[in-house]
């Protein structure tokens, strides 16, 4: 028997299958788009096709993410916080502080090192510093989103953005380009602004990071520039799992397994 986790986010819809031992069998990530019900059905079909596992062998499904209540046939809906705590424990055992930056919100979680959440802080009122913010900045700079994570590697300036509001930041970036600022320096300023904003969130749950194992999940964790800059700002090493944007779905799949075993 296999167990499915579905994480319905604002930008992506993620699915993970695990086996009876809790090992990941396969995963799939697709854009959520305007119709999340269709995306949910599509990602479920995709992961079953990729893994070659028939639907009849899926013992239970747990849904998470902002669109979790749209997943039909689910055993239950579970919050992202709980699922991310469970998922990061499986991917990077012993994690004590988890930073998750998704498409439209940011979360910082204090964990007990065994996947249980002790405290958390969340910024879901503003998209500043999230995936949508980075998408907007990439469009303004006329570069691919994937390029952002590498452009600042050789930048050494101290350019600072005065606003993290997406609308104002776009205008500021346009002005900086007009003034002749180099794109790598602008990107470095963007990453530093995101890191400083995220540090404030993290400090609410873990004022002292000394000796704590820190990890990052979510789609923005695929941006090495953000990860590198956040590590510098926090003065610590940040671990990133192999597939950072699937951690919520992985946790959901493991919870589906756990609950099925108990039943």
Is the pLDDT reported for residue 132 higher than 90? no
**Rounded CA separation 12/40 (Å):** 10
Phi and psi at residue 205, to the nearest 5°:
-110, -20
- How large a percentage of the chain has pLDDT more than 70? 98
Q: How confident is the model at residue 124 (pLDDT cuts 50, 70, 90)?
A: low
Pairing assessment for the beta strands 238-239 and 214-217 based on DSSP bridges: parallel
C-alpha distances in Å from residue 104, one per residue of 59, 178, 186, 187: 31, 29, 22, 20
Residue spans of the domains in the chain: they are 2-85+246-262, 95-240
Predicted pLDDT of residue 71: 94
Over residues 142-153, the mean pLDDT reads 86
Its CATH class, for the domain covering 2-85+246-262, is: alpha beta
**Fold category of 95-240 in CATH:** Nucleotidyltransferase; domain 5 (3.30.420)
Decide if 2-85+246-262 and 95-240 have a common fold. yes
The CB density around residue 85, as the number of other CB atoms within 10 Å, is: 26
Query: What is the reported pTM?
Result: 0.91
What pLDDT digit, counting tens, does each position of 199-244 carry? 999 999 999 999 999 999 998 999 999 999 999 999 999 999 999 9
């Amino acid at each position: 028997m296999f167990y499915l986790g579905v994480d319905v986010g604002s930008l992506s819809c993620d699915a993970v299958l695990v086996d009876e031992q809790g090992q990941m069998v396969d995963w799939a990530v697709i854009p959520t788009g305007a119709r999340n019900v269709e995306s949910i059905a599509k990602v479920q079909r995709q992961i079953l096709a990729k893994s070659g596992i028939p639907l009849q062998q899926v013992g239970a499904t747990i849904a998470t993410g902002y669109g979790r209540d749209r997943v039909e046939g689910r055993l239950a809906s579970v919050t992202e916080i709980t699922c991310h705590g469970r998922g990061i424990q499986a991917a990077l055992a012993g994690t004590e502080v988890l930073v998750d930056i998704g498409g439209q919100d940011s979360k910082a979680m204090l964990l007990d090192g065994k996947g249980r959440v002790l405290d958390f802080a969340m910024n879901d009122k503003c998209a500043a510093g999230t995936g949508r913010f980075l998408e907007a900045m990439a469009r303004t700079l006329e570069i691919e989103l994937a390029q952002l994570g590498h452009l600042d590697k050789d930048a050494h300036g101290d350019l600072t953005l005065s606003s993290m509001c997406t609308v104002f930041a776009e205008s500021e970036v346009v002005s900086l380009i007009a003034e002749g600022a180099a794109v790598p320096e602008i990107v470095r300023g963007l990453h530093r602004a995101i890191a400083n904003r995220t540090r404030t969130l993290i400090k609410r749950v873990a004022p002292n990071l000394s000796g704590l194992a820190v990890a990052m999940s979510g789609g923005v964790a695929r941006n090495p520039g953000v990860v590198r800059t956040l590590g510098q700002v926090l003065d610590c090493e940040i671990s990133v799992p192999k597939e950072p944007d699937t951690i919520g779905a992985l946790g959901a799949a493991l919870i589906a397994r756990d609950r099925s075993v108990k039943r």
